[in-house]
Amino acid sequence: MSSKRDYYEVLGVQRNATADEVRRAYRKLARQFHPDVNPGDHDAEEKFKEINEAQEVLSDPDRKAHYDRFGHQAPGGMGPDAAGGFGDLFNMFFNQGSGFTSDPRQESGRDGKDLRIDLEITLEEAARGVEKTVQISRQEQCDLCRGSGSRPGTSAQKCTACNGVGQVRHVQSTILGSFATVTPCVRCRGEGSTITSPCEKCHGNGRIRQAREKVLKVPPGVDDGMHLQMTGEGDAGMRGGRPGDLYASIHVREHPIFKRRGAELYSELPVSFLQLALGATLNVQTLSGQESLEVPPGTQTGATFRLRGKGMPDVNGRRAPGDLNVITSIKIPTKLNEEQKQALRTYASLCGEDERAGVEQEKGILGKVFDRLK
Ligand SMILES: [Zn+2]
Ligand SMILES: [Zn+2]
């Protein structure tokens, strides 16, 4: 135990050194003897362990007081040896990388955040494509200080708390060992520099919140749940960071007539029994207006008529537009007068139909529905 060097001697500070002086001395030595800087140098590694141990004790008021009273003799098992040595400390260091050897400038810029907005459009707008003006609020670079945050003519000073690194290392001793954690510097918020004379327009922030109008070009064929991305239209970056993007989530409103699946559209065409039985020319609604549709005699309910190219366009413009599928659906009259009822009964007896027997069962709508589900 007595072969150990005095902790104050190890760090090269006076016994009455302040916490700040201890920290500065430690940092200087740690940078000098860090294993990353001295690969394979056993002496440097020993020295590094030694200064870490000294710093750990002297930076902790309780342990420092203890050390000042008892020296390396540590009644109560509070010494660093009892805390499990430094193997854990080293592992932590190498896993996290070292704050000492990295280039502080790489971490000084912060990228701007992406912005997300919701954009509701109608099915007609989705089919044709549309331009929408939206209001956004975003962080933009301050034009007075050009994002530096410093009053024009002045510049930011290197942070004294982290010495411009932007990170601070904390060593914590537990009964499981010593752990080193690297956290962003609180003083400079990880930027490595502090603004001594803030820009009057942005108050040192470097950015200002601005309301903007943006015109979004929604392409034809866009579908619910798709996103439009406008590169670089999000928040501005800080201190040279890149701007974020603007994302618009597309929501296509439910249409009263049309259902959509990809490029295909579906609609229901209510028809009477007579129109199906005798055939008819009917008007059907499409996204671009009315079209006439020939329903041949003897058409079943649930029959599908395909209107080629009357569906949705392909959003990439590579495939032909989809079709509009018009599905017939028989409407049974709910109010019949006596004369109409009599006519239907006459019709039934002409067909040899017994009112109480069902029509011969076959694979009708139900079968088709299940076929589609297969
Ligand atoms: Zn400014
Ligand atoms: Zn700092």
DSSP class of residue 29?
Answer: H
Which comes out higher in pLDDT, residue 361 or 266? Answer: 266
DSSP class of residue 171?
Answer: E
Most confident listed range (15-24, 66-75, 275-284): 275-284
SS (H, E, C) the chain: CCCCCCHHHHHCCCCCCCHHHHHHHHHHHHHHHCCCCCCCCHHHHHHHHHHHHHHHHHCCHHHHHHHHHHCCCCCCCCCCCCCCCCHHHHHHHHHHCCCCCCCHHHHHCECCCCEEEEEEECHHHHHHCEEEEEEEEEEEECCCCCCCCECCCCCCEECCCCCCCCEEEEEEEECCEEEEEEEECCCCCCCCEECCCECCCCCCCCEEEEEEEEEEEECCCCCCCCEEEECCCCCCCECCCCCCCEEEEEEECCCCCCEEECCEEEEEEEECHHHHHHCEEEEEEECCEEEEEEECCCCCCCCEEEECCCCCCCCCCCCCCCCEEEEEEECCCCCCCHHHHHHHHHHHHHCCCCCCCCCCCCCCHHHHHHHHHC
pLDDT band at 44 (very low <50, low <70, confident <90, very high): confident
The residue-averaged pLDDT of 326-337 equals 93
CA of 38 to the centre of ligand 1 (A): 42
- Cα–Cα distance measured from residue 74 to residue 53, given in angstroms and rounded to the nearest whole number: 14
CA of 200 to the centre of ligand 2 (A): 22
Q: Which fold has domain 259-373?
A: HSP40/DNAj peptide-binding domain (2.60.260)
CA of 197 to the centre of ligand 1 (A): 11
For the chain, the average pLDDT equals 84
Reference 7, options 43, 74, 46, 56; nearest CA is: 56
CA of 183 to the centre of ligand 2 (A): 10
| Superfamily grouping for domain 7-101 | DnaJ domain (1.10.287.110)
pLDDT at 187: 87
What residues are neighbours of ligand 2 (ion), with CB under 5 Å?
159, 161-162, 185, 187-188
Q: Does domain 115-156+195-252 have CATH number 2.60.260.20?
A: yes
CA angle (27, 17, 59) in 5-degree steps: 55
- 115-156+195-252: same fold as 7-101? no
Ramachandran quadrant class, 93 (left: phi over 0; alpha: psi -120 to 50; beta: rest) = alpha
CA of 152 to the centre of ligand 1 (A): 8
CA of 269 to the centre of ligand 2 (A): 71
Instruction: Tell me which ligand sits closest to the C-alpha of residue 165.
Output: 2
Encode pLDDT of 175-194 as tens digits.
777 778 888 888 888 888 88
pLDDT band at 91 (very low <50, low <70, confident <90, very high): very low
The residue-averaged pLDDT of 81-104 equals 36
CA of 244 to the centre of ligand 2 (A): 25
Domain boundaries, the chain: 7-101, 115-156+195-252, 259-373
pLDDT band at 367 (very low <50, low <70, confident <90, very high): low
Evaluate whether 325 touches 267 at the Cβ level (below 8 Å). yes
Q: Above 90 in pLDDT, residue 253? A: yes
pLDDT band at 143 (very low <50, low <70, confident <90, very high): very high
Most confident listed range (47-61, 240-254, 348-362): 240-254
Encode pLDDT of 288-327 as tens digits.
999 999 999 999 999 999 999 999 999 988 999 999 999 9
Instruction: Tell me which ligand sits closest to the C-alpha of residue 186.
Output: 2
